[in-house]
């Protein structure tokens, strides 16, 4: 194996890992703020993909151009979902929480199949197609743009959480609901915000993916398990943890695929997941 192949693989692992990170950040935020595992998270990503697909094929609007629009739509969708459904299961037993978000997952897949059929679709010839050669390694332009986009969005979320009053309120709710309420923070508002941002992150990841990944109703299934793994490695509720863990998972997956064959790349990630769950349940970067 040449260094070139190794570098090439490493680079593509990092790039896809940045997308995993973005999906997982949304998931970890919802979990961190309200202790609910959202099984429908991959479907937010699916909706983001379809949104950019239709805007592209119906109005010839470039995915990158429509990214803000899709993000706003997914934000609204996340808030709506919280207000309509999730608000009713905040204090429900874990089982009914799991099955509510699981039901939403298959509902959204069914709805997508109903309106858009189960065909595989793709966005051809967007503004970011083609490849570039960077320091001797060949990279797809869509992947590169997606990776950079994911970094920018993650940076914005980091800024929001750490430098704004609203972000601080969200963090406060995540670390102690009761204390935050006593400080006058409306926890329902924070929960809506977490669902909105969570859905928007997954939607943005969907848009970035849409330029190089097939679009179909069940596409979320490819990402939800990976997102769980990332969230867990990074420590539940930790945004920076999810960012680094996303990159790590992307690299391990692609490297493992190179060494053992692509059919085992998911298995490698799952073994890693179980190992971390068993020996460091607080995550690789979490504190004991």
Partner 1 sequence: MKNYHFAIFTLVAALLLPAVIDSSHLNMAILVLMAAQVGVAWNMVGGYAGQVSLGHAAFYGIGAYASTLLLVKFGVNPWIGVLTGGVVAALLSLAFGWSCFRLKGHYFAMATIAVAELVQIFFTEWEYGGAAVGLYVPLDKPGWLWMSFSTKLPYYWLALGLLLLTLAANWWIERSYLGYYFRAIKDEPDAARSIGINIARYKQIALSVSAFFTAIGGSLYAQKEIYIDPNSVLSTALSIKMALVAILGGVGTLFGPVIGAVILTSIEEFTRIFFGGTGRGTDVIIYASLIIVIAVFYPTGIIGWMRSFRERRAARADASRQIAAHAASASTNNGEAA
The minimum distance between CB 11 and partner 1, in angstroms, equals 26
Residue 37 interacts with partner 1 (CB under 8 A): yes or no: yes
Q: Using CB under 8 A, which of 6, 72, 76, 92 touches partner 1? A: 92
Q: Using CB under 8 A, which of 100, 126, 192, 238 touches partner 1? A: 100
Residue 135 interacts with partner 1 (CB under 8 A): yes or no: no
Which residues make Cβ contacts (< 8 Å) with residue 81, sequence separation at least 6?
A: 104, 195, 199
Q: Are 245 and 228 in contact (CB under 8 A)?
A: no
Encoded tokens for 168: 């601080």
The minimum distance between CB 42 and partner 1, in angstroms, equals 13
Residues 216, 208: Cα–Cα separation, whole Å: 15
> Residue 215, SS3?
strand
H-type alpha helices, 85-220 = 94-116, 141-163, 165-175, 177-182, 187-210
Q: How many CB atoms lie within 10 A of CB 94?
A: 11
**CA 170 to chain CA mean position, Å:** 19
The minimum distance between CB 237 and partner 1, in angstroms, equals 12
The minimum distance between CB 123 and partner 1, in angstroms, equals 23
Which 167-196 positions form the footprint of partner 1 (CB under 8 A)? none
The region of 96-104, 128-136, 157-165, 242-250 touching partner 1 under the rule CB under 8 A is 96-104
Number of chain residues interacting with partner 1 (CB under 8 A): 43
Q: Using CB under 8 A, which of 10, 69, 89, 255 touches partner 1? A: 89
Is the CA virtual torsion 36, 278, 233, 268 positive or negative?
A: negative
Angle in degrees, CA 138, 143, 145, rounded to 5 = 110
Residue 98 interacts with partner 1 (CB under 8 A): yes or no: yes
Residue 110 interacts with partner 1 (CB under 8 A): yes or no: yes
Query: Footprint of partner 1 on this chain (CB under 8 A)?
Result: 37, 85, 88-89, 92-100, 102-107, 109-114, 117-118, 217, 225, 228-229, 232, 263-264, 266-267, 270-271, 273-274, 277-278, 281
């Amino acid at each position: 194996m040449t260094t070139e192949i190794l570098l090439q693989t490493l680079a593509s692992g990092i790039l896809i890992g940045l997308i995993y990170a973005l999906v997982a950040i949304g998931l970890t935020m919802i979990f961190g703020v309200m202790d609910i595992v959202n099984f429908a998270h991959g479907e937010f990503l699916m909706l983001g993909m379809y949104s950019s697909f239709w805007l592209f094929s119906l109005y010839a609007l470039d995915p990158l151009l429509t990214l803000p629009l899709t993000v706003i739509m997914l934000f609204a969708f996340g808030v709506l979902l919280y207000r309509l459904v999730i608000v009713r299961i905040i204090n429900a037993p874990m089982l009914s929480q799991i099955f509510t978000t699981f039901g939403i997952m298959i509902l959204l897949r069914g709805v997508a199949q109903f309106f858009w059929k189960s065909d595989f679709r793709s966005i051809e010839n967007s503004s970011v197609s083609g490849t570039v050669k960077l320091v001797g390694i060949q990279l797809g332009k869509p992947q590169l743009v997606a990776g950079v986009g994911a970094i920018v969005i993650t940076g914005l979320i980091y800024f929001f959480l750490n430098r704004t009053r609203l972000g601080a309120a969200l963090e406060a709710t995540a670390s102690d609901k009761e204390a935050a309420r006593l400080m006058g923070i409306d926890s329902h508002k924070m929960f809506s915000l977490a669902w909105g941002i969570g859905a928007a992150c997954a939607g943005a990841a969907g848009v970035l993916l849409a330029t190089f990944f097939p679009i179909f109703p069940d596409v979320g299934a490819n990402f939800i398990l990976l997102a769980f793994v990332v969230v867990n490695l990074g420590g539940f509720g930790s945004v920076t943890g999810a960012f680094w863990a996303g990159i790590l998972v992307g690299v391990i997956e692609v490297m493992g695929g190179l060494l053992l064959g692509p059919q085992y790349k998911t298995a490698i990630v799952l073994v890693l997941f179980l190992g971390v769950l068993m020996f460091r349940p607080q995550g690789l970067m979490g504190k004991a």
